[in-house]
């Protein structure tokens, strides 16, 4: 009997550590394994362990970060203090982000993150792509039309030569405690974004959500100066612009902890003192952007409170508002854009908190118009070669707000 009790005691000692390791188990120095629970997403797991979601996806060979399942075992990578090297690839005819990723034995998501790409299906011949983890990358050429040229510095005052320069589709970053790039520290860095934009002319409102400091210049004229350490704050400034091209420069620094830099603008109307025409057409989005309409209700009814050009549909407003004047809860939005597709089958996907609908040429592909918690949906459609109208509708029902839309060729 004593021998049996002793054996049971030894067995209990062996099994005891295993009982508390259902979610996270050590697998190597600095790494653990997480077992996905019902309702979890890769984004929520990344936040749980304070790691970058794209790093987590690469560590587990995940191509689509919205495709994980309950019971899946994920390796949580250790934080590396040595940034990987990089190379530059010039896009050729017939290339896709996926074929380039296969060539360099990496993922499309890794390349997209390194180059500030939000639409994985939109690259062009001659584009210079930074390929992380291959060899040091030279400074890229000035940003193509419709993109920002971002110069990133390893200091808080934009001094000296930038550590690297890349093309960013939009200044729409909520890095949190993460680094903008594997080559940069998580704190005490600065960025200068520049872009030439063709404006219709009139009175415009520039909006900047920032943590920490920011300065905005229009044609070298300082229009916003909040160069100081601060918690996340939203600033707006109204600027009168003549029709034509104007150079916009945004300077930003992060001192410590959370990092946020989100810029947008909207046309308010004709310049003060200018006689209004008999009928003012609504502002139209550039051909490479979405025309976004934002409503102060959950059913897209009435006139929009704000109409603006959004370069992509990829927002995590959390408990905040999409823009000044839009409520934090119980709002809706509609985005419309003409997009050139090849003849192929495409998977159209959306991730939303709360409701989302997606249309292609008027046909409703995704219809999930209900409260949800960051759920993902994908539907396949066959498209002919040419322009197709894509429309996305979204509503927020309270709590956190999130919407991502993307597509991939099958």
Is the previous residue joined to 73 through a cis bond, with omega within 30 degrees of 0?
no
Question: Taking all residues of the chain, what is their mean pLDDT, rounded to a whole number?
Answer: 79
**What is the fold of 81-138?**
Membrane-bound Lytic Murein Transglycosylase D; Chain A (3.10.350)
pLDDT tens track for 27-71: 444 568 888 888 788 877 877 777 777 778 778 877 667 778 888
Neighbours of 149 (CB within 10 A): 19
404 close to 311: Cβ distance less than 8 angstroms: no
Whether the model pTM is above 0.85:
no
Contacts of residue 108, defined as CB under 8 A and 6 or more positions apart, other chains included, come to 63, 97, 98, 100, 101, 120
User: Cβ–Cβ contacts within 10 Å for residue 194, how many?
Assistant: 16
Where along the chain do its domains lie?
21-76, 81-138, 146-273, 283-410
Output the six-digit token pair for 207. 């909006």
pLDDT at 362 over 80: yes
Residue 179 DSSP SS3 = coil
Distance of CA 32 to the CA centre of its chain: 27
- Residue 86, pLDDT score: 52
pLDDT of residue 226: 92
6's CB contacts (< 8 A; 6+ apart) are none
How high is the pLDDT of residue 372? Answer: 87
Alpha-carbon distance of 81 to 227, in angstroms, equals: 29
Is 268 within 8 Å of 202 (Cβ atoms)?
A: yes
Higher pLDDT, 18 or 184: 184
- Each residue's pLDDT tens digit, 192-222: 999 888 888 888 889 999 998 999 999 878 9
Q: Measuring CA to CA, how many Å separate 37 from each of 69, 103, 289, 404?
A: 8, 34, 37, 22
Question: Identical fold at 21-76 and 283-410?
Answer: no
Question: Which pLDDT belongs to residue 251?
Answer: 95
Q: Note the pLDDT of residue 359.
A: 94
Contact 61, 159 (CB under 8 A): no
CA distance linking residue 257 with residue 176, whole number of Å: 7
Average pLDDT of the segment spanning 327-354: 90
In angstroms, the Cα distances linking 284 to 232, 280, 292, 296, 390 are 30, 12, 9, 20, 15
The closest alpha carbon to 409, from 348, 337, 340, belongs to 348
User: Contacts by 319-322 with C-beta closer than 8 Å and gap 24+?
Assistant: 319/399, 319/400, 319/401, 320/209, 320/401, 322/294, 322/401
Judged by DSSP in three states, 99 sits in helix
Q: Which CATH number fits domain 21-76: 3.10.350.10, 3.40.50.1970, 1.10.10.10, 2.60.15.10?
A: 3.10.350.10
The dotted CATH code for 283-410 is 2.60.120.260
Q: Does domain 146-273 have CATH number 3.40.50.2000?
A: no
pLDDT in tens, 239-261: 888 888 888 999 999 998 889 99
- For the stretch 280-293, pLDDT in tens is 444 444 456 788 99
């Amino acid at each position: 009997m004593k021998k049996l009790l002793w054996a049971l005691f030894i067995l209990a000692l062996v099994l005891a550590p295993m009982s508390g390791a259902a979610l996270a188990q050590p697998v190597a120095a600095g790494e653990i394994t997480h077992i996905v629970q019902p309702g979890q997403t890769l984004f929520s797991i990344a936040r749980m362990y304070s790691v970058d979601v794209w790093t987590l996806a690469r560590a587990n060979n995940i191509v689509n970060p919205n495709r994980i399942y309950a019971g899946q075992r994920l390796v949580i990578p250790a934080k590396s203090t040595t940034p990987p090297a990089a190379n530059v690839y010039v896009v050729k005819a017939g290339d896709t982000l996926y074929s380039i990723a296969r060539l360099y034995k990496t993922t499309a998501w890794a390349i997209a993150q390194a180059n500030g790409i939000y639409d994985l299906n939109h690259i062009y011949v001659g584009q210079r792509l930074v390929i992380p983890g291959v060899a040091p990358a030279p400074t890229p050429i000035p940003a193509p039309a419709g993109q920002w040229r971002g110069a990133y510095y390893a200091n808080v005052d934009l001094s000296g030569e930038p550590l690297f320069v890349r093309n960013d589709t939009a200044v729409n970053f909520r890095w949190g405690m993460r680094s903008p790039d594997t080559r940069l520290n998580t704190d005490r860095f600065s960025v200068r974004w520049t872009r030439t934009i063709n404006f219709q002319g009139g009175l415009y409102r520039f909006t900047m959500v920032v943590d920490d400091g920011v300065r905005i210049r229009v044609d070298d004229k300082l229009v916003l100066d909040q160069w100081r350490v601060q918690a996340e704050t939203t600033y707006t400034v109204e600027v009168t612009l003549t029709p034509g091209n104007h150079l916009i420069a945004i300077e930003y620094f992060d001192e410590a902890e959370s990092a946020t830099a989100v810029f947008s603008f909207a046309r308010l109307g004709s310049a003060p003192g200018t006689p209004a025409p008999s009928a003012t057409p609504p502002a139209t989005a550039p051909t490479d952007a979405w025309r976004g309409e934002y409503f102060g209700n959950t059913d897209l009814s009435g006139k929009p409170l704000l109409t603006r050009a959004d370069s992509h549909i990829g927002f995590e407003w959390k408990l905040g508002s999409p823009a000044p004047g839009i409520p934090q809860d119980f709002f809706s939005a509609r985005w419309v854009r003409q997009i050139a597709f090849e003849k192929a089958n495409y998977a159209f996907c959306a991730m939303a908190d709360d409701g989302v609908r997606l249309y292609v040429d008027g046909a409703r592909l995704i219809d999930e118009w209900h409260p949800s918690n960051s759920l993902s949906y994908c539907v396949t459609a066959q498209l002919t070669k040419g322009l197709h109208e894509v429309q996305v509708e979204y509503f927020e029902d309270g709590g956190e707000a999130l919407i991502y839309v993307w597509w991939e060729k099958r």
